[in-house]
Amino acid sequence: MKQKIAELIEQAVADLIAAGSLPEGLKPRIQIDNTKDKSHGELASNIAMMLAKPARKSPRELATLVVDALPESQWVEKVEIAGPGFINFFLTDQGGLQVVHQIIEQKEQFGRSTVGAGAKLQVEFVSANPTGPLHVGHGRGAAYGETLSNLLEAIGYQVDREYYVNDAGRQMDILATSVWLRYLQQSGQEITFPSNAYKGDYVIEFADQLVNEYSSKFVHVAEDVMQGICDDEPAGGDKEKHIDQLIERAKKLLGTTNYRTIFDYGLDHIRDDIKQDLEEFGIEYQGWFSERAMMETGKVESAIEQLQERGFIYEKDGALWFKSTDFGDGKDRVVQRDNGQPTYFASDIAYHLNKFQRGYKEVINIWGADHHGYMARVKAALKALGEDPERLKIRLVQFAILYHGKERLSMSTRSGSFVTLRELREEVGNDAARFFYVTRKVEQHMDFDLELAKSQSKDNPVYYIQFAHARIASVQKKLKDEGLSWNSDASQYHLERLIEPQEKALINKLALYSETILKSAEMGEPHQLVNYLRELAGIFHGYYTEHKVLVENQEIRNARLTLYICTGQIIHNGLTLLGVSAPDSM
């Protein structure tokens, strides 16, 4: 509809120029806004104010000219000039009612579009290290990534969701060693658990299972394990050195095969647990990309070599450095340590190069806010490799700060004292959790009070929207119970009987659904859809209490039922994109 109005204005301006009323060469950007206040009509344009200066006329005078030159249209009831020079458009009922027919015809498909033209996109999200279960901080990235993917699919893109599994590197070694040390403790060895190891209960569970499954196969006496290891931090030593030496000791005493067994035991269980957790949260990935597998095929070395061939690698202090400062990064970065090991950053370069080579139109990364320092260097590397860094879109998700009443909770995986995503889901339910996470825009820091989420779960806005859907379903059930039915013949809707202000408001809101989806998807802002649904539900609830649907008059009844069905359909469609259920009863 905005498009149609814009065309009318364009035509009017062109005619005025041709008639000499306006100077040549004006190329206005025509802007049409939805009005906030219905006394201003449905749509408004600021064109007269925009052109006032170049045309050397007052805005109101100009507005009069434009309005007089507007072609007739079946969609426009009347046009008014208001305020400093706004042109307000009041639409005909016929224009607004179109949407009702479209919703009934298209059902679940309504609101979807093809602007993406089937282009392939990749969205990578969560990608938490498999060193422990997901906590509530990861939940935000999970809910956001999935919802964004849904929205992008809704506007016609083909989306691959991917999880990058950091299953190589020091953190994983620390995990494997943690499991082994717990295993030794369970086997009766006197060992002080390192301050820097993973202390979560799940590590002890793995140890128990290993004892059951492998008995004493991996046991070494405490003296052999601890001999010559430097002091841990509580004893006045260095905790990093302490754990590193223990890792080396584990590898040496266990040998490659046994070490790998323990390593994989932890990795596989945690990865499977994460996978299941996310599936229960309504998220299914198209790909789980293993860093270790990538390294084993030599892609990391190859990426470094490519940078080398292009002359962006130099050696200093025995390490290999990438000249990222040539591409706008703040300092050069090490890609290979002096001990010959590639850095995490090197893996990242190889991984992103690999993504780019898979033919995506755009690659979208959803990162925690703590990773923002990596944006510059990853883009620098892609540029150095001859790729267009603009194809990489990075969205930073701010942390959710957890409170238990007034008390602020820690979210460290290492300390083991975190609230898991699974616990949250069990406490507040998947629907409320999914909804709550995307209610605020991602750049916004979020306070998450668990106490509130639990005790006031009935006040959660998700129920407000779901309730509207349930009410609609309930009315339809009642209709059937009374032996009546909705006449689905379009010629019998009797939409002309919809004359109440709430009915007009509802139709108006329904007409905005499609553009809300488009905007939410393109801007990556699911919260816009959330706000829309809340407003829609609000208008509906007001309407519901004010006017009965199941009235005697058949025509009015059928008209209102039609509107109800449309509203229910839109709530269903919207909630589905958010990964939230639309129940018929609650």
**Shortest Cβ 425–RNA spacing (Å):** 17
- CB-based contact 204:416 (threshold 8 Å): no
Structure tokens at 517: 């989806």
Should residue 514 be labelled a site residue for RNA when binding is judged by CB under 7 A? Answer: no
Should residue 441 be labelled a site residue for RNA when binding is judged by CB under 7 A? Answer: yes
SS3 assignment, position 334 = strand
Should residue 542 be labelled a site residue for RNA when binding is judged by CB under 7 A? Answer: yes
One residue of 88, 150, 178, 514 binding RNA per CB under 7 A: 88
Should residue 547 be labelled a site residue for RNA when binding is judged by CB under 7 A? Answer: yes
**Shortest Cβ 305–RNA spacing (Å):** 19
Should residue 86 be labelled a site residue for RNA when binding is judged by CB under 7 A? Answer: yes
**Shortest Cβ 197–RNA spacing (Å):** 14
Binding track, positions 289-328, relative to RNA; x by CB under 7 A: ---------------------------xxxx---------
- CB-based contact 508:566 (threshold 8 Å): no
Strands 86-91 and 43-45: antiparallel
One residue of 4, 241, 269, 519 binding RNA per CB under 7 A: 519
Q: What is the number of alpha carbons within 13 Å of residue 385 lying toward its C-beta?
A: 24
* Four-CA torsion 369, 373, 378, 383, nearest 10 degrees: 120
SS3 assignment, position 158 = strand
Amino acid at site 266: G
Amino acid at site 495: L
Q: Find the farthest-apart pair of alpha carbons in the chain and give their distance in angstroms, rounded.
A: 99
Should residue 447 be labelled a site residue for RNA when binding is judged by CB under 7 A? Answer: yes
Smallest CA-to-CA distance from 260 within 306, 288, 296 is with 296
**Shortest Cβ 396–RNA spacing (Å):** 6
**Shortest Cβ 551–RNA spacing (Å):** 8
**Shortest Cβ 214–RNA spacing (Å):** 26
- CB-based contact 67:79 (threshold 8 Å): yes
One residue of 20, 25, 188, 373 binding RNA per CB under 7 A: 373
**Shortest Cβ 46–RNA spacing (Å):** 4
Binding track, positions 157-196, relative to RNA; x by CB under 7 A: ---------x-xxxxx------------------------
Provide the CA 136 distance to its chain's centre, in angstroms: 15
**Shortest Cβ 257–RNA spacing (Å):** 22
Should residue 461 be labelled a site residue for RNA when binding is judged by CB under 7 A? Answer: yes
Q: Which residues of 370-406 are buried (b: 16+ CB within 10 A; e: fewer)?
A: eeeebbbbbbbbbbbbebebebbebbbbbebebbeee
Strands 120-124 and 362-368: parallel
Should residue 459 be labelled a site residue for RNA when binding is judged by CB under 7 A? Answer: yes
Q: Which is nearer to RNA, 119 or 334 (CB)?
A: 334
SS3 assignment, position 56 = coil
Binding track, positions 19-58, relative to RNA; x by CB under 7 A: ------------x-xxxxx-xx---x-x--xx-xx-----
**Shortest Cβ 188–RNA spacing (Å):** 32
One residue of 93, 344, 423, 430 binding RNA per CB under 7 A: 344
One residue of 65, 549, 559, 577 binding RNA per CB under 7 A: 549
Binding track, positions 399-428, relative to RNA; x by CB under 7 A: x-----------------------------
Should residue 511 be labelled a site residue for RNA when binding is judged by CB under 7 A? Answer: no
Structure tokens at 253: 């005493």
Beta-sheet strand order (sheet of 407-408): 407-408, 400-404, 446-449
**Shortest Cβ 374–RNA spacing (Å):** 6
Rounded to 10 deg, the angle between the 299-309 and 344-357 helix axes is: 90
Should residue 429 be labelled a site residue for RNA when binding is judged by CB under 7 A? Answer: no
Say how many residues make up the chain.
Answer: 586
Q: Which is nearer to RNA, 100 or 267 (CB)?
A: 267
Should residue 521 be labelled a site residue for RNA when binding is judged by CB under 7 A? Answer: no
For residues 474-493, which are near RNA according to CB under 7 A? 474-475, 478
Structure tokens at 564: 């109800």
Structure letter (DSSP) for residue 38: G
One residue of 440, 494, 504, 572 binding RNA per CB under 7 A: 440
For residues 108-147, which are near RNA according to CB under 7 A? 129
For residues 273-292, which are near RNA according to CB under 7 A? none
Helix, strand, coil shares of the chain, percent, nearest 5, are 55, 15, 30
Q: Which is nearer to RNA, 100 or 533 (CB)?
A: 533
Residues 444 and 280: their CA atoms lie apart, in Å, by 26
Should residue 84 be labelled a site residue for RNA when binding is judged by CB under 7 A? Answer: yes
For residues 203-262, which are near RNA according to CB under 7 A? none
Smallest CA-to-CA distance from 137 within 376, 433, 552 is with 433
Q: Which is nearer to RNA, 261 or 531 (CB)?
A: 531
